[in-house]
Amino acid sequence: MKRTGDSLLLILGILVLWQVLYWLAGDIALTSPTGTAEHLWKLLGTARFWGHAAETARAFAFAVAISLVGGVALGVLLGLNRTSGVVSEPILIALYSLPKVTLYPLVLLCFGLGMSAKVAFGAMHGLIPVTIFTMKAIMQIKPVFWRTAHVMRLTPRQMAFTIALPAVLPEVIVGARLGFSLTLLGVLIGEMFASQRGLGFMIMSAMGLGDMATIMAVAVFLSVFAIAANALLMWLDRAIPR
Amino acid sequence: MNRRILSREGWIRLAVIVASTAAFEALCRAGFIPRTAVLPPSEMATSLWHILRTGEYNKDILSTLQNVVASAALSVTFGFAFGVVLHALPRLRATVEPLLASYYAIPTFMFYPVFIVVFGVSSRAIIAIAVLLSIVAMIASTLTGLDRIPRVLRKTALIYRMSTPKRAVLIDFPAAAPHLFTGIKLAFAYAFIGVIASEFILSGQGIGYAIAYAYNNFDNRNMYGLMLLVILLATAANTALDTIDRRLQNRSRR
């Protein structure tokens, strides 16, 4: 109960801060919370908005699927062997902290404009954190678990489902949470540069028109979606029995 | 074990990197990857060398580095200050904690246009977005650092009857330092990402802008040279900070 109260307080605090900023910065820079809500409500009623949102959702779904499946597979593959794990970790971390926007032209030249470039760009952002977390989780499984499994003569299949999976699941969910938000960011940035559809494009074209209300409304819509998804994954993380 | 120049894994890693670069080069040279899409790594390197020697992009490089340093410095300073304040006020902290936990889920760049309207197309808008992106990492690290100060150290301070400022300088700060450094490392990495990405989206100068400009003009040579520069800069800076970070973490575990 106290947690809910705190969250409400936080939201209220953010709204008050926003309103104050609005009074300070004025109409050109920001729209007020109520103005943004109104505009968002109006946008939600238009088919144009949902067309863009569906396009983003489709690219995002593909990219997240690639990030999660690919990241977990790659992480398991690299983590099972200690040497390959130790060898690849710094390389993965270096790739992770690279400003991947820089590589955008490369992605465009390889994939062309459109859907596949967006998906590739999103997956590029999300794949590596999932890989890193899965790999570290596999490497950190206590050796005694494996020995116990040998003593009990478990088949590889049993080992995977009764030992490896439960042991790595919490870490993988943390990785998935990070991968999820980074993939979303990747897809949106991709749409901002080279797309004629999607919410990122909508923001970019609103930016060209100086249409602050639309920028704020779409940004808020995306933030609420991202925070809700994040909260869901965090809840999932807590719900797993340890 | 760190005394040797490279461990066994280090050598393998080096071999992997060299081999993949060589394979990439071979694929490009053999024509499997069209030249219109990607240049062979050797040509990227010569282009980078040319860029650095002629000084053609010095202004852009300098402006990017200045923005990164300014944003990282602002984030570290204010992030540390906010962290200390939040740590001192548990009630406020409990309220803000969910925001800190889900902050990086928010696509911050979507708010870049707002800053452009407020500050104009300028370094200030870029620094604002980079700070917004990096400050929370510093706040979180400061909180972790202050949380993890061993209680025995606090008790020792009590026994020595240290005043609060003295305890802060002699006990709290050194004890939290490794985590603070992790925060600095993250702030730096995020600031770099923030600056380059904002320059890319909309700006008048900087490496990100130069790459976008070269891309729009089909100037692959300069584009890949600059891209290589960004990759090398980011990797070098992050590896250096990461090495120091690991040393500090190991020392505190003893």
User: Is B7 in the same domain as B94?
Assistant: no
Nearest-CA distance from B108 to chain A in Å? 8
Please answer whether residues B175 and B153 qualify as being in contact, where contact means their C-beta atoms are separated by less than 8 angstroms.
yes
Q: Minimal Cα distance from A111: which residue of B?
A: B37
Provide the residue type at B106 as one letter. I
pLDDT tens, residue by residue, B6-40: 778 888 888 888 898 888 888 888 877 777 778 88
For B150, the token pair is 């061993």
Please answer whether residues A215 and A70 qualify as being in contact, where contact means their C-beta atoms are separated by less than 8 angstroms.
no
Q: Using CA atoms, how far apart are residues A79 and A136, in angstroms rounded to an integer? A: 7
Name residues whose C-beta falls within 8 Å of residue A227's C-beta, 6 or more positions apart in sequence: B102, B105, B106
Answer whether residue A213 is part of any domain.
Answer: yes
pLDDT tens, residue by residue, B113-132: 778 877 878 888 899 999 99
Query: Residue A185: its chain B contacts at CB < 8 A?
Result: 107, 109
Please state the separation of Cα B159 from the chain's center in Å.
40
Answer whether residue A118 is part of any domain.
Answer: yes
User: Is B46 in the same domain as B66?
Assistant: yes
User: Is B29 in the same domain as B60?
Assistant: no
Answer whether residue A182 is part of any domain.
Answer: yes
CATH of the domain at B174: 1.10.3720.10
Nearest-CA distance from A94 to chain B in Å? 6
User: Is B145 in the same domain as B237?
Assistant: yes
User: Is B22 in the same domain as B110?
Assistant: no
**A:26-45 residues touching chain B, CB 8 A cutoff:** 28-30
Question: What is the value of ipTM here, to two decimals?
Answer: 0.78
CATH of the domain at A196: 1.10.3720.10
Q: Minimal Cα distance from A212: which residue of B?
A: B114
* Chain position carrying tokens 């990857």: B33
Please answer whether residues A31 and A213 qualify as being in contact, where contact means their C-beta atoms are separated by less than 8 angstroms.
yes
DSSP code of residue A164: I
Nearest-CA distance from A156 to chain B in Å? 28
For B141, the token pair is 């690290």
User: Is B12 in the same domain as B44?
Assistant: no
CB contact under 8 A, B17 and A91: yes
Q: How many domains does chain A have?
A: 1
Computed over every residue of chain B, the mean pLDDT equals 86
Answer whether residue A195 is part of any domain.
Answer: yes
User: Is B89 in the same domain as B131?
Assistant: yes
User: Is B27 in the same domain as B103?
Assistant: no
User: Is B240 in the same domain as B182?
Assistant: yes
Please answer whether residues A212 and A203 qualify as being in contact, where contact means their C-beta atoms are separated by less than 8 angstroms.
no
User: Is B112 in the same domain as B19?
Assistant: no
Please answer whether residues A221 and A50 qualify as being in contact, where contact means their C-beta atoms are separated by less than 8 angstroms.
no
Domain with A80, as residue range(s), is: 34-239
Domain with B13, as residue range(s), is: 1-36
User: Is B132 in the same domain as B244?
Assistant: yes
Q: How many domains does chain B have?
A: 2
CA distances from B194 to A94, A191, A203, B122 (A): 16, 17, 18, 14
Answer whether residue A120 is part of any domain.
Answer: yes
Answer whether residue A231 is part of any domain.
Answer: yes
Predicted confidence at residue A5, as pLDDT, reads 75
CB contact under 8 A, B107 and A222: yes
How many inter-chain contacts (A to B, CB under 8 Å) are there?
145
Nearest-CA distance from B182 to chain A in Å? 14
pLDDT tens, residue by residue, A30-86: 778 888 888 888 888 888 888 889 989 999 999 999 999 999 889 888 888 788 888
CA dihedral B67, B73, B75, B81 (to 10 degrees): -160
CB contact under 8 A, B38 and A106: yes
Answer whether residue A7 is part of any domain.
Answer: no
User: Is B6 in the same domain as B45?
Assistant: no
Answer whether residue A17 is part of any domain.
Answer: no
